[in-house]
Amino acid sequence: MASRDAATDGDIVRAVLAGDVERYAVLVERHRDRHARYAVHMLGSPDAAEDAVQDALLRAFDRLADCREPDKFAGWLFLILRNRCLAERRRDRREGRLPEGAAEAVAAPERSDGALEQQEQGRALARALGLLTAEQREVVVLKHVEGLAYEEIAQRTGATVASLKMRMHRAYDRLRELMKEHL
Amino acid sequence: MTRTYHVDVKRVLDGEITLADLPPELQAEGAEALRLIAALDRAPVTLPPAFEAKVMRAVRDRATAPMRRVWRWLSAPHEVELRLRVRPWAVSGVTLAAAAVLGLLLVKPQPPARSGSAARPAAANVVFVRFVLHAPGAKGVAVAGTFNQWDQNAAPLIPAGTDGVWTTTLALPVGQHQYAFVIDGRQWIVDPAAPAMDDGFGRRNSLVVVTMQGARTL
């Protein structure tokens, strides 16, 4: 059973490269949900996220020989998924599927109460996240959803801590503006 | 009018200070900002159970695609077993010849290649390429690339003097190679003396082109 495989990611990558294709199932099982939440927040829908994670895993398989550090397969897979998500976001923006910057605010319902209000605020915030730039959205997700420190985000994305903070601070202001009817 | 958060409120959101550290006039703004960020959905996401089977079906299709099989066979190293039948007198002859070649190599070492990525022909399609990196403070430096399957232990550099210059010379086949230096076994950097290209995964690799006339960076 794949989940009981005690081999390291590096061992499995080397086994797959040596021809044992079925061992790739262990990597799929280990990493399928690991970055799924990131993908959902980046792309805005579970279906799009599932497609993105699948594409990333297949692309990783196709290019497995290029994995420079097999023991860091998870980080390498994240980079592939990240590129995929950012590319899709940029394509959506180019094709006008996301009216980035077009919306001035996310409308609030006329009346609400307690838990319902909280739920609605969560939904509105998810919509507001979709109106941020891909880079702003990513830093919000990695810091406030995935719980990473700026230094960890810098390590994963290759950006500097200073530029990440600048992105984040602009994102805070943008979210405040977009959510003004809910605050 | 655009309402922006006070810089100290952003520091609260960043976790650098707490709400209690804010002056009284910023407390309400800080509380509002925290409420906003707290509303983010942090629920774990689980992909459907059939996901794994779907991915593996696609993986098997790709693995059995004829072109991929051919490519894998061409790019994978193969063990070749050679069986020779020799007579005892031939063994001593070969040993003497090998000793003579070794002696020649020891007596007349090859002149070092020029600094940078200069090269000199060695065999029919192999060229010596010298890799040089200035890395003061490094405890170990290696070069890993497409020519050694990105194995960071395969080609360590040797310190040249005491001023942080590390160097090694590798015999590379004619063609185009991507590579990177690995410092202290964990930090991957591109060659500052060579152009770099995106590896398709958000990282950068250096590029060297080896021809029978020598090596050049693109």
Whole-number pLDDT of residue B115: 40
Containing structural domain, residue B33: 7-38
Torsion region of B161: left, alpha or beta (phi above 0 gives left; psi -120 to 50 gives alpha): left
Q: With an 8 Å Cβ cutoff, are B55 and A28 in contact? A: yes
Whether B197 and chain A come into contact, CB under 8 Å, resolves to no
Q: With an 8 Å Cβ cutoff, are A21 and B60 in contact? A: yes
Angstrom distance (rounded) from CA B47 to CA A75: 19
Whether B15 maps to a domain, the answer reads yes
Whether B110 maps to a domain, the answer reads no
Whether B34 and chain A come into contact, CB under 8 Å, resolves to no
What does each of the 218 residues of chain B score in pLDDT, given as a tens digit?
668 999 999 999 999 999 999 999 999 999 999 999 999 988 889 999 999 999 999 999 988 877 666 666 665 555 555 455 656 555 555 555 555 554 444 444 444 443 444 444 445 688 888 898 988 888 999 999 888 888 888 899 998 877 888 999 888 888 888 899 999 988 888 888 888 887 767 678 888 888 877 777 65
Whether B166 maps to a domain, the answer reads yes
Tokens 């983010």 belong to: B40
What is the pTM assigned to this prediction?
A: 0.64
Whole-number pLDDT of residue B92: 59
Helix (H) or strand (E) holding B211: strand B204-211
Q: Nearest-CA distance from A6 to chain B in Å?
A: 19
Whole-number pLDDT of residue A152: 94
Give the residue from chain A lying closest to B6, CA to CA: A173
For chain A, list the domains and their CATH numbers: 1-98 (1.10.1740.10), 105-183 (1.10.10.10)
Whole-number pLDDT of residue A110: 53
Q: With an 8 Å Cβ cutoff, are A65 and B188 in contact? A: no
Chain B contacts in chain A segment 23-82 (CB below 8 A): 24-25, 28-29, 32-33, 36-37, 39-41, 46, 49-50, 53-54, 57-58, 61-63, 65-69, 76, 79-80, 82
| From B3, B42, B75, residue closest to A176, measured CB to CB | B3
Which chain B residues are within 8 Å of A19, Cβ to Cβ?
Answer: 72
Whether B113 maps to a domain, the answer reads no
| CATH of residue B190 | 2.60.40.10
Q: Which of B3, B7, B26, B40 to mutate to test the interface with A (most CBs of A within 10 A)?
A: B40
Give the residue from chain A lying closest to B179, CA to CA: A68
At A42, which amino acid appears?
A: M
Q: With an 8 Å Cβ cutoff, are A145 and B144 in contact? A: no
What does each of the 183 residues of chain A score in pLDDT, given as a tens digit?
445 578 999 999 999 999 999 999 999 999 999 889 999 999 988 999 999 999 999 999 999 988 988 999 999 999 999 999 998 888 877 777 654 444 445 555 555 556 677 778 888 999 999 999 999 999 999 999 999 999 999 998 889 999 999 999 999 999 999 998 887
Angstrom distance (rounded) from CA B134 to CA B141: 10
Give the residue from chain A lying closest to B8, CA to CA: A169
Whether B134 maps to a domain, the answer reads yes
Whether B32 maps to a domain, the answer reads yes
Whole-number pLDDT of residue A99: 46
Whether B95 maps to a domain, the answer reads no
Give the count of beta carbons closer than 10 Å to the beta carbon of residue A146: 15
Contacts of residue A66, defined as CB under 8 A and 6 or more positions apart, other chains included, come to: B150, B199, B200, B201
Structural contact between residues B58 and A45, judged by C-beta atoms closer than 8 angstroms:
no
User: Do B33 and B123 belong together in one domain?
Assistant: no
Tokens 């500052």 belong to: B192
Angstrom distance (rounded) from CA A29 to CA B59: 13
Whole-number pLDDT of residue B114: 39
Give the count of beta carbons closer than 10 Å to the beta carbon of residue A74: 13
Q: How far is CA A135 from CA A42, A54, B7, B197, in A?
A: 10, 22, 20, 22
Q: With an 8 Å Cβ cutoff, are B41 and A41 in contact? A: yes
Whether B39 and chain A come into contact, CB under 8 Å, resolves to yes
Whether B74 and chain A come into contact, CB under 8 Å, resolves to no
**Looking at the 3D structure of chain B, how many domains does it have?**
2
